[in-house]
Amino acid sequence: MSKIDLFLILLSFSINLSLAIDDECYMTVPEIGKHFGYESEVHLVRTTDEYILELHRIPCKQNEKCDRSSKRPIVFMQHGLLADGFSWIPNLANQSAGFVFADAGFDIWIANSRGTPASQKHIGYGPENQKFWNFTWQQMSEFDLTASVDLVLKETKQEFLYYLGHSQGTMIMFSRLAENPEFAKKIRHFHALAPVATVSHIGGLFGLFGTKFLTYAEILLGRLPYSPLSIPRTVQKMISYMCSRFFMQNICTLDIGFIDGNEKMFNQSRVGVYLCHTPAATSVKDLQHWIQLVKSQTVSKFDYGTDGNIIEYGQPTPPEYDLTQINTPTYLYWSRDDILADTQDIRDSILSKMNKTIAGSLELPHYSHMDFVFGTHAAFDLYPKIIETIQDDYNKYRITRMHKLKKHL
Ligand X SMILES: *[C@@H]1O[C@H](CO)[C@@H](O)[C@H](O)[C@H]1NC(C)=O
CA distance 118 to 144: 13
Q: Is 131 in the site for ligand X (CB under 6 A)?
A: yes
289 labelled catalytic:
no
Q: Residue 57 or residue 122: which is nearer to ligand X going by CB?
A: 122
Active site residue 167: yes
Catalytic residue among 79, 122, 369, 377: 369
Is 26 a binder of ligand X (CB under 6 A)?
no
Give yes or no for residue 22 binding ligand X (CB under 6 A).
Answer: yes
Nearer to ligand X, 74 or 370 (CB): 370
Min dist. Cβ of residue 23 to ligand X (A): 9
The residue from 12, 14, 18, 269 that contacts ligand X (CB under 6 A) is 269
Residue list 53-92, contact with ligand X (CB under 6 A): 92
Q: From CA 97, how far away is CA 215, in angstroms rounded? A: 37
Comparison of 352 and 395: residue with beta carbon closer to ligand X? 352
Residue placing its CB nearer to ligand X in the complex, 156 or 309: 309
Query: Binding ligand X by CB under 6 A: which of 3, 356, 407, 408?
Result: 356
189-228 residues near ligand X, rule: CB under 6 A: 226
Among 94, 250, 327, 395, binds ligand X (CB under 6 A): 94
Residue with Cβ nearer ligand X (327 or 352) = 352
Residues 6+ apart with CB under 8 A from 199: 206, 290, 293, 294, 340, 342, 345
Residue 187, beta-bridge partner list: 161
**Cα separation, 301 vs 318, whole angstroms:** 5
Active site residue 393: no
Through-space distance between the first and last CA atoms of the chain, rounded to whole angstroms? 87
352 near ligand X, rule: CB under 6 A: yes
Identified binder of ligand X from the candidate list 270, 277, 289, 301, rule CB under 6 A = 270
Residue 70 corresponds to which amino acid? S
Of 278-307, binders to ligand X (CB under 6 A) are none
323 binds ligand X (CB under 6 A): no
Applying CB under 6 A, which residues contact ligand X? Answer: 22, 92, 94-95, 130-131, 134, 226, 267, 269-270, 312, 352, 355-356, 376, 379-380
Residues labelled catalytic: 167, 338, 369
